[in-house]
């Protein structure tokens, strides 16, 4: 999860233009949708629903497990503080343990290993996988840090005979749990997408990379050591997880780096290492293996990666790497976009209507990208504020109430948006807030299901950050069960549609041509079907899958057909 939603100039421009328009056209700036706004949105969503077989990733992330995050499991961090203060009487200040790096550093290897082992053992178990399956998800994204591939902490020895010094616990500990997770995923017929969430030196400075670094230069790719180690770790991942490994391997995709933060990193460096990783990936991937190479968009605008890693645009790839001898299609690469609405002041001040319109426009722009690469919204949440305790970091406050600016060196000229309440348990939220969150979740589900290769919610669970917590949201009735059982944006035409809308509102409801999906629906089915026939799933796998759509889902390249249609 990113602590800021990147620089997407085009999107913001779009958002800005749109929110200006909408504020003029729909006279409401409130936290709640008025009837007119609801109608506009319902109309828009109606154009999404059709009898198309829904072919999309419906995923969930197991964040805060193999890479810990203070806001997901604050108790782990409180325990660490207590442990340190027990043997160090001068330690009574939380400021030194703010991420997994400092947790390991302060505790020392053995104590950190004990604490983390207990966490790995208990935070996610087989029953989570069973429930993920029962709840209808078809994919699990599992974040892991590069330090899992540390071989010997005394020698600072890593895979590929690299030496790199850091305090992290590794030596195969996380891999043991990952392998167990893969067995559970196989047992419950869930696909897995592995996500390298932490890079040597940190690729973004967010605490979820293992190492928080708000103010200084990032370490990743700043020297050859971090790059060599990254390539070694990728090599180990590809050796282990490509080519089916063995019959029970449920891995359908490997995301080589989560949220590399450009412009704090150089875009050219990131692109270059993506190419080197891809070349290695293809070198190690045997014929017949369909595992997808996944890149995060590095906070670049939608469309930025269209021509990269795309065999139809060799003029673009040649600037970085000659893939002349590599056989691949544009569909071998999937682009992962993350989207949150809470990490800038301007996002926090949006009305509910413009927040949802923003999602709709985001979906439309990703849709245009699908003719180049499949694209998933690989992180999103129910959050409409950044109030969850520690979501911006240990001892860091929220932008929403201004406390962020009291606890960091960042400044703002904006007055606070409001007072935080969503850091409280859901039963203490106002009805208005609950409605806003449920609508926001529905809007994202509807949009990402119809307009993208699919979605992955962040996160499966947390201790006390309910807006980011699927299980708590579901329990409180703020996440649809099943996923398309909408309360506010109904799929059956029973929504409160007023057919007599003013033309300005209709334009708003249909800012782009609405035809592409509906007109192509029959063709889409044909495309999927014919591409599916070409994909000879092994018999065992076929038996393991129940519905037609699930079979299709099993393979990411499903978008091939969508793309064929769109072209």
Active site residues: 259, 339
**Torsions phi, psi of 211, nearest 5?**
-140, 115
What are 61's strand-pairing partners? 141
Q: Smallest distance from the beta carbon of 498 to ligand NAG, in angstroms?
A: 19
C-beta of 501: minimal distance to ligand NAG in Å? Answer: 20
Beta strands 157-158; 162-163: pairing state: antiparallel
Shortest Cβ distance from residue 277 to ligand NAG (Å)?
Answer: 15
Alpha-carbon gap, residue 343 to 385, rounded angstroms: 8
Longest dimension (CA), the chain: 73
Are residues 382 and 473 in contact, defined by beta-carbon separation less than 8 angstroms? Answer: yes
Let me know: does 276 contact 227? Beta carbons within 8 Å.
no
First to last CA, the chain: 33
Strands 162-163 and 191-198: unpaired
User: Which residue's CB is nearer to ligand NAG, number 12 or number 214?
Assistant: 214
**Is residue 489 within 8 Å of 440, Cβ to Cβ?**
no
Residue with smaller CB distance to ligand NAG, 246 or 513: 246
Instruction: Give the shortest CB-398-to-ligand NAG separation in angstroms.
Output: 8
Strands (E) across 362-453 are located at 375-379
Q: Which two tokens stand for residue 381?
A: 């949440």
Question: Do 302 and 11 meet the contact criterion of CB atoms below 8 Å apart?
Answer: yes
Residues 179, 250 contacting (CB under 8 angstroms): no
DSSP 504-567: HHHHHH-SS-SHHHHHTHHHHHHHHHHHHHHS---HHHHHH--SHHHHHHT-GGGHHHHHHHH-
Residues paired with residue 254 on neighbouring β-strands, in sequence order: 194, 293
Q: In 3D, which of 333, 285, 281, 292 has the Cα closest to residue 311?
A: 333
C-alpha closest to that of 552 among 336, 282, 252, 327: 252
Distance CA 163, CA 156 (A): 5
Which residue's CB is nearer to ligand NAG, number 72 or number 185?
Answer: 185
Q: At its nearest, how many Å lie between ligand NAG and the CB of residue 324?
A: 4
CB of 338 to ligand NAG, least distance (A): 26
The first and second tokens of residue 264, run together, are: 């704090």
CB of 321 to ligand NAG, least distance (A): 6
Q: What are the residues binding ligand NAG (CB under 6 A)?
A: 49-51, 88, 90-91, 93, 95-96, 161, 163, 179, 182-183, 244-246, 248-249, 288-290, 313, 315-316, 318, 320-322, 324-325, 401-403, 406, 416, 418-419, 481-482, 485, 487, 534-537
Nearest to ligand NAG of 75, 419 (CB atom): 419
Identify which of residues 95 and 499 has a Cβ nearer to ligand NAG in the complex.
95
Nearer to ligand NAG, 249 or 300 (CB): 249
Q: Which is nearer to ligand NAG, 48 or 71 (CB)?
A: 48
Q: Which residue has the tokens 């056989």?
A: 327
């Amino acid at each position: 999860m990113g602590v800021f939603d990147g620089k997407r100039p085009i999107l913001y421009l779009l958002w800005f233009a749109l929110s200006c328009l909408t504020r003029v056209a729909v006279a409401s700036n409130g936290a709640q949708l008025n009837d007119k706004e609801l109608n506009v949105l319902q109309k828009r969503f109606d154009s999404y629903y059709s009898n198309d077989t829904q072919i999309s990733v419906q995923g969930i992330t197991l964040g805060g497990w193999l890479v810990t995050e203070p806001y997901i499991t604050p108790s782990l961090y409180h325990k660490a503080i207590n442990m340190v203060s027990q043997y160090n009487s001068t330690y009574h200040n939380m400021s030194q343990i703010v991420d997994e790096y400092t947790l390991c550093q302060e505790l020392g290897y053995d104590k950190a290993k004990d604490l983390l082992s207990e966490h790995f053992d208990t935070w996610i178990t087989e029953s989570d996988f069973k429930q993920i399956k029962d709840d209808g998800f078809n994919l699990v994204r599992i974040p892991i840090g590069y330090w899992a591939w540390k071989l010997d902490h005394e020698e600072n020895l890593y895979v590929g005979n690299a030496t790199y010094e850091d305090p992290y616990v590794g030596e195969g500990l996380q891999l043991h749990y990952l392998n167990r997770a893969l067995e559970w995923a196989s047992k419950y017929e869930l696909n897995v997408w592995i996500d390298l969430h932490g890079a040597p030196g940190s690729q973004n400075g967010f605490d979820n990379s293992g190492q928080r670094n708000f103010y200084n230069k990032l370490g990743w790719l700043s020297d050859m050591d971090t790059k060599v180690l990254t390539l070694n770790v990728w090599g180990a991942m590809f050796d282990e997880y490509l080519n089916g490994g063995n019959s029970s391997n449920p891995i359908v995709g490997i995301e080589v780096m989560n949220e590399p933060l450009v412009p704090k990193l150089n875009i050219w460096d990131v692109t270059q290492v993506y190419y080197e990783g891809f070349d290695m990936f293809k070198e190690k991937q045997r014929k017949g293996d369909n595992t997808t190479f996944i890149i995060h968009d590095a906070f670049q605008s939608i469309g930025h990666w269209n021509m990269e890693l795309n065999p139809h645009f060799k003029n673009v790839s040649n600037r970085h790497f000659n893939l002349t001898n590599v056989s691949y299609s544009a569909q071998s690469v999937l682009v992962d976009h993350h989207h949150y609405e809470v990490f800038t002041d301007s996002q926090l001040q949006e009305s509910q209507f413009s927040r949802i319109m923003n999602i709709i426009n985001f979906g439309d722009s990703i849709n245009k990208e699908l003719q180049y690469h499949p694209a998933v919204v690989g992180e999103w949440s129910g959050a409409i504020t950044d109030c969850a305790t520690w979501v911006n970091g240990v001892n860091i406050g929220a932008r929403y109430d201004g406390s962020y600016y009291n606890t960091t060196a960042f400044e703002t000229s904006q007055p606070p948006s409001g007072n935080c309440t969503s850091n409280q348990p859901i039963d203490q939220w106002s009805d208005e807030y609950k409605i806003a969150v449920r609508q926001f979740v529905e809007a994202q589900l509807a949009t990402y299901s119809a307009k993208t290769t699919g979605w992955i919610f962040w996160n499966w669970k947390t201790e006390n950050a309910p807006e980011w917590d699927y299980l708590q949201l579901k329990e409180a009735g703020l996440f649809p069960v099943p996923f398309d059982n909408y309360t506010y944006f109904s799929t059956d035409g029973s929504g409160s549609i007023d057919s007599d809308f003013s033309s300005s509102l209709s334009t708003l409801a249909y800012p782009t041509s609405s035809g592409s999906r509906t007109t192509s629906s029959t063709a889409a089915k044909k495309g999927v079907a014919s591409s599916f026939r070409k994909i000879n799933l092994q018999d065992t796998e076929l038996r393991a899958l129940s519905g037609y759509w699930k079979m299709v889902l099993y393979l990411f390249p499903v978008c091939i057909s969508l793309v064929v249609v769109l072209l």
